[in-house]
Amino acid sequence: MRKSKFLSIFLAVFLSAALMAGCGSDTGRRNREVRIGMTVYDEYDTFLSELTEDFMADVAEVNAREQGTAVSVLRFNAAQSQITQNEQVEKMISKGCNVICVNLVDRTDPSMIIEMAREADIPVIFFNRELVEEDLMSWDRLYYVGADAFESGKIEGRTAAAYLKAHPETDRSGDGVIQYVVLEGEAGHQDSIVRSETSVDALIEEGIQIEKLESSIANWNRGQAQNRMGQLIDRHGDAIELVLANNDDMALGAADEYDRRETPAKERPAIIGIDGTKVGLEGVRNEKLIGTVYNDRKGQAEAMLKLALAVAAGEPADDLPLADGKYIRLPYAEITMENIDQYDN
């Protein structure tokens, strides 16, 4: 999709200033080094693996373009353990990282990481899994990059409502009410809580009569979602007319279960996700999903790198859209068959 003009301009200005201020005597050699430490809660999470890929591509672009600059990334997979993640941050600090990017395992437990970083005076950018405001405000070198969960749920609900209005046959029972199930991400994750609520609110606001049959937690995971969908079908049979999934992987897991059961297309519910991952887009293209909501991983990766380079150098990040001097949130966008060609990633 769009490539980073903003990033290029920012980096040109930032890096030339940094180089002028840096070890100028090493002309012609790599005389500016930024070491970024990065840890994700689970490297097998589809959305995060794509976001990391985008981030690494942006880093490679900076290194290729900016002579005399070497940005390196020390990457870790926390494999769903907060204790492991704390140890990884300790390692990053001992290996001399200038800035640390953390996708928390437990968003309610950043205290060890904050304490270690503060002691070593190394800024931390949390991303995607949002810590509580009180923790983020506890030190001035802490930041958050993500998106607005309320918006994603609203767009999901509105997109589903538009589809239902255009496809009255989705109400297979013909009772004027759409019976639905929700596939939820991790319990306690800001995106699961908010998306589950706001998607339903938006459907109601759009005037759709709905009835909730059940919701089930599938932890963002395609395999778990397929399993949960199997249980939901066993309990509710073909009464299910709409599946609202908190992300694309779970939406695809639901579709996988209907595939496994060889359910004909017109007997399936409408299924919708959030993320616009590569597999999610493919799901929309081949009509397994009625739509998805773009979670701007490219924008988030780009913002995180810009912020990382600025704060590592102790520069003010004035030209970045920082809310309260702390938050960068990228907007979501609707994706359906109508506009999917704009999303060729």
- Residues forming contacts to ligand GAL in the complex (CB under 6 A) are 45, 47-48, 128-129, 185, 189, 191, 220, 247, 274-275, 295
3-state SS record for 12-58? HHHHHHHHHHCCHHHCCCCCEEEEEEEEECCCCCHHHHHHHHHHHHH
Minimum CB separation of residue 246 from ligand GAL in Å reads 7
Minimum CB separation of residue 32 from ligand GAL in Å reads 32
Report d(CA 295, CA 277) in Å as an integer: 8
Comparison of 98 and 300: residue with beta carbon closer to ligand GAL? 300
Q: What is the DSSP letter of 62?
A: H
Comparison of 129 and 268: residue with beta carbon closer to ligand GAL? 129
Minimum CB separation of residue 45 from ligand GAL in Å reads 5
Q: At how many degrees (to 10) do helices 297-312 and 5-21 cross?
A: 10
Report d(CA 181, CA 100) in Å as an integer: 39
Minimum CB separation of residue 148 from ligand GAL in Å reads 11
Comparison of 210 and 274: residue with beta carbon closer to ligand GAL? 274
Comparison of 144 and 220: residue with beta carbon closer to ligand GAL? 220
Report d(CA 224, CA 118) in Å as an integer: 38
Comparison of 48 and 122: residue with beta carbon closer to ligand GAL? 48
The H-assigned helical ranges of the chain are: 5-21, 46-65, 82-94, 111-120, 133-136, 149-166, 190-205, 222-236, 248-260, 278-285, 297-312
Which of 109, 110, 206, 121 has the alpha carbon at shortest distance from 155? 206
Minimum CB separation of residue 308 from ligand GAL in Å reads 19
Comparison of 10 and 220: residue with beta carbon closer to ligand GAL? 220
Minimum CB separation of residue 275 from ligand GAL in Å reads 5
